[in-house]
C-alpha cells in the first residue's frame, strides 16, 4: 500500500515533468520554424538535437512508468 | 427477444464503452500519449533541420522599375516584383543610393513605408522599424530582415533582377 501511494506521487511528478518537456519541445519547434523562415539555418541542427534528447528522456521516463506499473500489477495493486 | 432488446444489443455492440468509463484514462495512458506527442514534435523539428533550403539569392526575370531614375533623394516609390502579388518599395537615400525591399513586414505582413524624417522604414501596424541601408530590423516586434530586391542600373533605367532573403 505504501508503494502504491508513493507510486501515485511519483507518477504525478513524472507526468508533470514529461508535460513540461513537451512544452519545451513545442517551443523548440516554433523557434526552429521561425529560424527556417528567416533562413537562419544554423539554429536548426541544435534545435533538432535538443528536441531529440528531450524525446529520449521522455521515452526513458515512460519506460520507467511502464516497468513500475507492471511491478505494481504483479504485486496485486491498482495500476496507475 | 423483443425488438427493443435487439436494438439495445446492437447499440451495445456499436458502443461497448460504459458511460462512467468514458472519461477514464490512466496516468500510464496519458504518459504514453504525451511521449507520442514528444516523438511527433521531434520528428517535425528534425524534418525542418533536413528540409531543402532556399538559396539566399534568387534570380528572377529583370523588370524595369518605371520612374526610378527620376526619384529624388529622400523619397520612395512602390512597385511590384517579381510578380504582381509582391509589393516592393524603392528608396533613394539622402546620399543618392537606391535601395529596394519587399514591402511586406516580416512581423505580420503589413505594408511598410519609408519614413524620410527618421531615415527608416517603418511598419505602422505595430511600430516596427527597419534600417534603410540593409533592411535589418532596428526596433519593434520584427525579428527578420526585409527581403532585399537586387537592383541593376542599365542605360534605359533601373531594373530589379532578383531577391536576397
What is the ipTM, given to two decimal places?
0.87
As separate numbers, helices (DSSP H) first and strands (DSSP E) second, chain A gives 2, 0
Report if residue A43 sits inside a domain: yes
Flag whether residue B28 sits within 8 Å of chain A, measured between CB atoms: yes
Q: Which residues of chain A does B48 touch, with a Cβ-Cβ cutoff of 8 Å?
A: 29, 32-33, 36, 44, 47-48
Report if residue A79 sits inside a domain: no
What residues of chain B, 35 to 64, have a C-beta less than 8 Å from chain A?
35, 37-39, 41-42, 44-46, 48-49, 51, 53-54, 56
Cell of B149: 530586391
Per domain, the residue ranges of chain B are 3-50, 57-164
Q: Which residues of chain A does B45 touch, with a Cβ-Cβ cutoff of 8 Å?
A: 25, 28-29, 32, 44, 47-48, 51-52
Radius of gyration of chain A (CA): 17
pLDDT value of residue A38: 79
In this predicted structure, the answer to whether residue A74 has a pLDDT above a threshold of 70 is: yes
Please state the separation of Cα A3 from the chain's center in Å.
Answer: 23
pLDDT value of residue B72: 93
CA distances, B20 to each of B17, B25, B26, B159, B163 (Å): 8, 11, 14, 71, 61
Q: Measure the CA–CA gap between B74 and B60, rounded to whole angstroms.
A: 27
Q: Which residues of chain A does B41 touch, with a Cβ-Cβ cutoff of 8 Å?
A: 22, 25-26, 28-29, 51, 55
Query: Does A66 contact B44 at a Cβ distance shorter than 8 Å?
Result: no
Query: Does A62 contact B31 at a Cβ distance shorter than 8 Å?
Result: yes
Report if residue A49 sits inside a domain: yes
pLDDT value of residue B85: 94
pLDDT band at A2 (very low <50, low <70, confident <90, very high): low
Query: Does B46 contact A52 at a Cβ distance shorter than 8 Å?
Result: yes
pLDDT value of residue A66: 86
pLDDT value of residue B2: 65
pLDDT value of residue A3: 61
pLDDT value of residue A32: 95
Domain ranges, residue A8: 2-74
Domains contained in chain A, number: 1
Query: Does A25 contact B51 at a Cβ distance shorter than 8 Å?
Result: no
pLDDT value of residue A77: 59
Q: What is the fold, at CATH topology level, of the domain defined by B57-164?
A: Rieske Iron-sulfur Protein (2.102.10)
What residues of chain B, 79 to 138, have a C-beta less than 8 Å from chain A?
106
pLDDT < 50 regions, chain B: none
Chain segment A23-60, per-residue pLDDT in tens: 999 999 999 998 888 778 889 999 999 999 999 999 99
pTM for the model stands at 0.64
Mean pLDDT of chain A: 86
Amino acid at each position: 500500500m505504501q508503494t502504491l501511494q508513493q507510486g501515485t506521487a511519483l507518477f504525478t511528478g513524472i507526468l508533470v515533468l514529461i508535460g513540461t518537456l513537451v512544452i519545451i519541445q513545442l517551443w523548440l519547434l516554433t523557434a526552429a520554424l521561425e529560424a527556417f523562415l528567416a533562413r537562419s539555418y544554423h539554429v536548426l541542427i541544435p534545435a533538432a538535437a535538443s528536441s531529440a534528447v528531450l524525446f529520449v528522456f521522455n521515452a526513458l521516463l515512460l519506460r520507467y512508468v511502464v516497468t513500475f506499473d507492471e511491478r505494481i500489477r504483479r504485486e496485486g495493486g491498482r495500476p496507475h | 427477444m423483443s425488438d427493443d432488446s435487439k436494438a439495445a444489443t446492437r447499440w451495445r455492440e456499436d458502443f461497448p464503452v460504459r458511460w462512467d468509463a468514458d472519461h477514464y484514462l490512466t496516468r500510464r495512458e496519458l504518459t504514453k500519449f504525451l511521449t507520442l506527442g514528444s516523438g511527433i514534435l521531434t520528428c517535425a523539428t528534425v524534418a525542418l533541420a533536413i528540409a531543402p533550403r532556399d538559396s539566399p539569392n534568387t534570380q528572377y526575370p529583370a523588370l524595369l522599375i518605371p520612374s526610378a531614375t527620376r526619384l529624388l533623394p529622400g523619397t520612395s516609390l512602390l512597385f511590384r516584383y517579381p510578380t504582381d502579388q509582391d509589393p516592393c518599395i524603392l528608396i533613394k537615400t539622402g546620399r543618392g543610393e537606391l535601395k529596394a525591399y519587399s514591402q511586406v513586414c516580416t512581423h505580420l505582413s503589413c505594408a511598410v513605408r519609408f519614413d524620410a524624417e527618421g531615415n527608416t522604414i517603418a511598419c505602422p501596424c505595430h511600430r516596427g522599424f527597419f534600417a534603410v541601408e540593409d533592411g535589418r530590423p532596428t526596433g519593434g516586434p520584427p525579428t527578420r530582415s526585409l527581403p532585399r530586391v537586387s537592383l541593376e542600373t542599365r542605360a534605359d533605367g533601373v531594373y530589379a533582377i532578383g531577391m536576397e532573403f
